[in-house]
Amino acid sequence: MNTSFWKAGHTPTLFAAFLYFDLSFMVWYLLGPLAVQIATDLDLTAQQRGLMVATPILAGAILRIFMGLLADRLSPKSAGLIGQVIVICSLFAAWQIGIQTYEHALLLGLFLGFAGAAFAVALPLASQWYPAEHQGKAMGIAGAGNSGTVLAALFAPGLAALFGWQNVFGWALIPLLIALLVFALLARNAPQRPQPKSMADYLKALGDRDSWWFMFFYSITFGGFVGLASALPGYFNDQYGLSPVTAGYYTAACVCAGSLMRPLGGALADRIGGIRSLLMMYTVSSLCIAGVGFNLSSSTAALALFVTAMLGLGAGNGAVFQLVPQRFRKEIGVMTGLIGMAGGVGGFLLAAGLGTIKQHTGDYQLGLWLFASLGVLAWVGLYGVKQRWRTTWGSAAVTAARV
């Protein structure tokens, strides 16, 4: 990464956006690594467990629209501060009052959706500081906050085993309060930000067919990443009998791969083009997920395929958001919310769907194959629109690489 990138924007804001996004994703994902222990204590079925871990994903998807509007109308920093306070209060209430029923767990999941909505704040906050030729790197670094899922997968099951899973909510407050302080002190809104749009402008964005293509593509890449991240602790426990802690380590390896590849995926897209990069990533991910669907007898082989698939999905996330600012730079706030919402909906459907299919068929095979098929469909769709994109807005994008 050359020095021109670091001189182009505002590094403290980029760091604050990353930290805020990282720890927000940690708590957004928190119910996933704790799912096996919570399900055991609350006597949940596989379908209920799947819906429990999927609820924060859906809530985050819907709230991304609200947070995107808030960031656009107030400022990304103001929206971020509001969201962080709501999440901290929700976790404090869960820690002190406790989660005694399935319904309580779902309610907590709804409030944790504000953490997932951090996506619609952190990315515009970082993006608005950087010119077009550095969008892939800036969005990739801020978006690498996906790595917060690694922290939850690594530490939450172990802390739950030592102190009880309800006390994990209290432990999570410590890094969240630190992140709130750092964000308040370091983050700055860009001096030049897009003007707030009317509701008619937001509806107009949905009238553009490219919006729907981006939403679909991201529902596969990010939806696959977060949906699998939430479902994998239960998958490894159900399929191979791994303990919650070991299943958490396996999941952490998968989500770490996807998180690390997001900024690299953005940089790769800057170099070889977002479309070409995304086509490669759909190919890798779909093949690996289809392979896992054959119910491999070895948990190590399944882990290797999941890690490779997550590498593809993570890089795909970076590639999608290398393209978005080129097509929708003036509408980046609302488009980040819309596309992020679609990614969250995809993750909800995947996590909840895998649990439902497991409940009714006895294994995850059909669910994995269906998801792999959607990856193939996304590949076909992207291949179909690439020529139009390259000869219209893609040819005019100010970027160092071909789109």
Report the distance separating Cα 36 and Cα 34, nearest Å.
Answer: 6
8 Å CB contact between 306 and 185: no
Query: What is the phi/psi pair of residue 191, to 5°?
Result: -65, -30
Model pLDDT for residues 100-136, shown as the tens digit of each residue: 999 999 999 999 999 988 878 888 888 777 776 666 6
DSSP structural state of residue 34: T
Query: What is the phi/psi pair of residue 242, to 5°?
Result: -75, 150
Confidence of residue 321 (pLDDT cuts 50, 70, 90): confident
| Residue 201 clears pLDDT 80, i.e. is over it | no
Residue 401 pLDDT:
40
Query: What value does the mean pLDDT take over residues 77-103?
Result: 95
| Residue 387 clears pLDDT 90, i.e. is over it | no
| Residue 402 clears pLDDT 70, i.e. is over it | no
* Residue 5: half-sphere exposure toward Cβ, Cα within 13 Å: 17
| Residue 274 clears pLDDT 50, i.e. is over it | yes
| Residue 336 clears pLDDT 80, i.e. is over it | no
Confidence of residue 403 (pLDDT cuts 50, 70, 90): very low
Report the distance separating Cα 237 and Cα 253, nearest Å.
Answer: 15
Report which of residues 4 and 156 the model is more confident about.
156
Report the distance separating Cα 273 and Cα 403, nearest Å.
Answer: 4
Report the distance separating Cα 317 and Cα 258, nearest Å.
Answer: 9
| Residue 398 clears pLDDT 50, i.e. is over it | no
Residue 1 pLDDT:
53
| Residue 355 clears pLDDT 90, i.e. is over it | yes
| Residue 241 clears pLDDT 80, i.e. is over it | yes
| Average pLDDT score, the chain | 87
* Residue pointed to by tokens 């995850």: 364
Report the distance separating Cα 221 and Cα 213, nearest Å.
Answer: 13
DSSP structural state of residue 197: P
Residue 303 pLDDT:
97
Residue 369 pLDDT:
97
Confidence of residue 333 (pLDDT cuts 50, 70, 90): low
| Residue 319 clears pLDDT 50, i.e. is over it | yes
Report which of residues 197 and 381 the model is more confident about.
381
* Residue pointed to by tokens 């402008």: 201
Report the distance separating Cα 73 and Cα 222, nearest Å.
Answer: 26
Residue 400 pLDDT:
39
Residue 100 pLDDT:
93
Residue 394 pLDDT:
57
Domains of the chain: 10-188+197-396 (1.20.1250.20)
Residue 2 pLDDT:
59
Query: What is the phi/psi pair of residue 189, to 5°?
Result: -75, 145
Report the distance separating Cα 108 and Cα 249, nearest Å.
Answer: 24
Of 68, 14, 13, 17, the closest CA to residue 333 belongs to 68
Report the distance separating Cα 19 and Cα 214, nearest Å.
Answer: 26
Confidence of residue 393 (pLDDT cuts 50, 70, 90): low
8 Å CB contact between 100 and 38: no
Report which of residues 59 and 120 the model is more confident about.
59
* Residue pointed to by tokens 């609820």: 55
Joined together, the tokens standing for residue 179 give: 């992140």
pTM of the model: 0.85
SS3 399: coil
Dihedral sign for Cα 30, 108, 174, 333, please: positive
Query: What value does the mean pLDDT take over residues 307-325?
Result: 90
Residue 281 pLDDT:
95
